[in-house]
Chains A and B, each alone.
Chain A
């Protein structure tokens, strides 16, 4: 049953991804001109003479003399073979550029998610069970503060104090002397030293939002009759809370996994630029500015792929966790 369902869902992903790829391609091609025109314009502005013959060669090589529809199919065919294309800006295959950064991005994002959950769940549960207490108000205030302060501002403040108090070097995920060094204990230590700053900053907003969500969801569930039933059985409050309302409120977060996966890969762009992290976020922004179309397009495609996979995972997890979905084919949330 479950296998058949997964198979059907995977089949459904194909048209979804095709439509997304067409959209991405169209949007990237919407602005006037292409990478080569931007390049020659930039060079001309700097008073340099562009190597016209090389540009002409590249244009031909990558099919820029052909109509867009043909180029689209050429690009999609490449993607299917695992060839993400070639970045003009870096003059490297896209896979090589993204590959390095992807690992760092995932490390940062993964730590952020763990941080968010570890902080948000206990606080959310506390807030819900102690509604309108001083603790609830105080934590809610802190959370709203986290939501309200722009990330980049928080990033600057953190950088300054981390440097003044702990002597952490400004920017990056590792001390300068370890850049381009092979991984070692010292390098790992340096990474950990730097890692907590982006994790807290990127996590701050998410944590605040998550606290609100946990609190609201749990407050809803705490009103439900089955929680009264559980307590009428004589369950201690903590255990009753964990087994019934908490379990029910988890549905919301599992359906959220679909959004989390792509954000692991894309990272928080602005914060990454401020902190000059070697993650994928700044890369994407630069690629879009420069109309480096294969880099941008393939990367966006990768993100959509992650989204689709994330939704699939959350659907399967929901079906396993909630018998109503499994047996009735409908969710109540």
Chain B
């Protein structure tokens, strides 16, 4: 039986008086107790469909045709056309939260910061199933325990900002499921979470589904998540269904070119050496050049980082009185070298200190200890010892590409001004030279020079990121720090940007420090990879060595949590440690900090592969 059957659904939006169809005749079904994945890129209309099911379309949008039939297993033989219900009427409100639950991408902003978790869950319960106070409390605590809160009694009184991202999403699940709905709509439920946490939340969702028997409509752009969760898949592109069917058919025999392209555009771990991602649209038609030969290994590294250390004193200082000041070690004895022309990947989960490292190298944050030596062949320079003027003249050598292509470009400057600004600051060339250079930069990143007078808002996310890349290239840097450059982009655009970065690196002999939480992306880009946890580099190795012989338990946990877009390699959810992979109490004793205070050391495993462990540990055992 189908819980939900959508047929020929059309949804239109009115923007500036112009009516535009966003969803154009979509039909899909969600069978009872099954998971249906709705897959598409941003702007494809997948979220709009979920809003229509909940009757939560924005005010300027509306259903213009078709029907959304909801058949509640509690009242068999009866079906409700949600599209025909009165907006904000009694019927739709009874369905929302009662029979259809929903969780969202951003668990932080989805919960009210001024009400306790328990209060918000209880509200949902009392709306649909009025229950006595004591009994309600019992139900809620049982639910909180079920979704993984260790101390549900205390959890009831927590505020959302006191919880980690994973726990917030668990609280959202508790709220959506407290009334035992027949259908759960999950709109990108794990996109904002780290891989290991994502694996836990997905695991929890499938467990709860097995227990409560609800159907799940999973909205996502991540084919890896789809392969691990879905029974059926619906692929949507520009408001139209491209392909739909059981997950087996979709992954083993994709028919539609869009789906095939999407599968080819996502980086994965079994790519051959030198294999290239197939972007849906390449950034520029230029032929990629062969990479320059790697410089001799004994040449001095371009950047040499030694024993960086940075502590923050955090404001857990209470508003009232002194509170407790606690010191957090963000970066703890980090050392690495980047050779000229190399791409060093820096991987780790949020809060591991990887962004702090990049900020220290950019001299935006002052480390407590350590040294950074930059050597472009003209002799070593100590970067941390530079005074303001030397630093200003040095700046062009190291540039940065940022994560968010929206907020990293000034909305009040044209592309011309954005790209010309570095040239003006560093007095490169005369007026016409500058403009010629800016045009050449646009060509390098595959953007039309006619767009120079436009403002950033008229570009798509991928195009904006290309502008950001052009800006980083403007001063001919030696080293570019890429801080999660593709994590805000869709899969198809991601491939385009990654290929562009690779090509530029080959053309110009650039050196990259590539920071990312996405192992597949780092695997595609990097020559060597450093894995960071709790402020320390726990393992550093050439790419193939890290993926074929991961030694550190943290690296292994990370690798095990990445969902593959492959039905034959589903995740084993249960392997993931409950406190997240960086919780070192689950690591083997050889990797843990010793109670006697003995320092851990980077033990060599050969071929430039090092792992952080107790000095006396048996290397063979580790490898």
A330 at the interface (CB under 8 A from B): yes
B59-109 interface with A by 8 A CB criterion: 88, 93-98, 101-102, 104, 106, 109
Interface residue count on the B side (C-beta < 8 Å): 36
Query: 1/0 contact trace for B106-119 toward A, CB 8 Å?
Result: 10011111110000
Contact B95 A234 (CB under 8 A): yes
> Which of B234-242, B314-322, B383-391, B476-484 makes up part of the contact surface?
B314-322
Q: Which of A228, A237, A243, A327 contacts B318 (CB 8 A)?
A: A327
Chain A residues with CB under 8 Å of B318's CB are 1, 327, 329
> Which of B123-131, B249-257, B452-460, B590-598 makes up part of the contact surface?
B123-131
Q: How many A-B residue pairs have CB under 8 A?
A: 98
Q: How near does chain A come to B609, taking the closest CB pair, in angstroms?
A: 42
The chain A residue with its CB closest to the CB of B102 is A232
Contact A326 B319 (CB under 8 A): yes
A223-258 interface with B by 8 A CB criterion: 224-226, 228-237, 243-244, 247-248
Given A228-B104, A324-B114, are A233 and B96 also a contact pair (CB < 8 Å)?
Answer: yes
Contact A323 B113 (CB under 8 A): yes
B161 at the interface (CB under 8 A from A): yes
Contact A226 B96 (CB under 8 A): no
Q: Which of B98, B159, B162, B317 contacts A234 (CB 8 A)?
A: B98
Chain B residues with CB under 8 Å of A332's CB are 113
The chain B residue with its CB closest to the CB of A131 is B59
Contact A234 B319 (CB under 8 A): no
B305 at the interface (CB under 8 A from A): no
Q: How near does chain B come to A43, taking the closest CB pair, in angstroms?
A: 58
Query: 1/0 contact trace for B9-46 toward A, CB 8 Å?
Result: 00000000000000000000000000000000000000
> What DSSP secondary structure best describes chain A's contact surface?
helix
A157 at the interface (CB under 8 A from B): no
Contact B114 A248 (CB under 8 A): yes
Q: Which of B93, B112, B159, B319 contacts A226 (CB 8 A)?
A: B112
Q: Which of B56, B101, B113, B319 contacts A5 (CB 8 A)?
A: B319
Chain A residues with CB under 8 Å of B321's CB are 1, 4-5, 8
A83 at the interface (CB under 8 A from B): no
B400 at the interface (CB under 8 A from A): no
Contact A244 B320 (CB under 8 A): no
A328 to B175, CA, bound (A): 24
Q: How near does chain B come to A252, taking the closest CB pair, in angstroms?
A: 14
- Could you say which of B93, B114, B172, B321 has the most chain A C-beta atoms within 10 Å of its C-beta? B114
Contact A234 B109 (CB under 8 A): no
Contact B128 A324 (CB under 8 A): no
The chain B residue with its CB closest to the CB of A332 is B113
Q: In the complex, which range does the number of interface residues on chain A fall in?
A: 20 to 34
B377 at the interface (CB under 8 A from A): no
Q: How near does chain A come to B352, taking the closest CB pair, in angstroms?
A: 22
B323 at the interface (CB under 8 A from A): yes
Q: Which of B102, B106, B114, B320 contacts A247 (CB 8 A)?
A: B114
Q: Which of A8, A225, A236, A248 contacts B93 (CB 8 A)?
A: A236
Q: How near does chain A come to B547, taking the closest CB pair, in angstroms?
A: 37
A98 at the interface (CB under 8 A from B): no
Contact A231 B56 (CB under 8 A): yes
Q: Which of A224, A229, A319 contacts B320 (CB 8 A)?
A: A319
B54 at the interface (CB under 8 A from A): yes
Q: How near does chain B come to A238, taking the closest CB pair, in angstroms?
A: 10
A22 to B15, CA, bound (A): 58
Contact B319 A233 (CB under 8 A): no
A325 at the interface (CB under 8 A from B): yes
Contact A229 B319 (CB under 8 A): no
A5 to B322, CA, bound (A): 9
Chain B residues with CB under 8 Å of A4's CB are 320-321
Chain B residues with CB under 8 Å of A106's CB are none
The chain A residue with its CB closest to the CB of B162 is A327
Chain B residues with CB under 8 Å of A224's CB are 109
Chain A residues with CB under 8 Å of B323's CB are 329
A39 at the interface (CB under 8 A from B): no
Chain B residues with CB under 8 Å of A231's CB are 56, 96
Q: How near does chain A come to B15, taking the closest CB pair, in angstroms?
A: 13
Contact A319 B54 (CB under 8 A): no
A247 to B119, CA, bound (A): 15
A288 at the interface (CB under 8 A from B): no
- Known A229-B175, A232-B54; further 11 A-B contacts with Cβ < 8 A: A1-B320, A231-B56, A231-B96, A232-B97, A234-B95, A235-B93, A247-B114, A321-B114, A323-B159, A326-B319, A327-B319
A-side residues, CB < 8 A to B, are 1-2, 4-5, 8, 224-226, 228-237, 243-244, 247-248, 319, 321-330, 332
Q: 30 A-B pairs, CB-CB below 8 angstroms? A: A1-B321, A2-B320, A4-B321, A5-B319, A5-B321, A8-B321, A224-B109, A226-B111, A228-B56, A229-B110, A229-B172, A232-B97, A232-B102, A234-B93, A234-B96, A234-B98, A234-B127, A234-B128, A235-B123, A237-B88, A248-B112, A321-B114, A322-B114, A323-B113, A324-B113, A324-B114, A324-B161, A327-B319, A328-B315, A329-B315
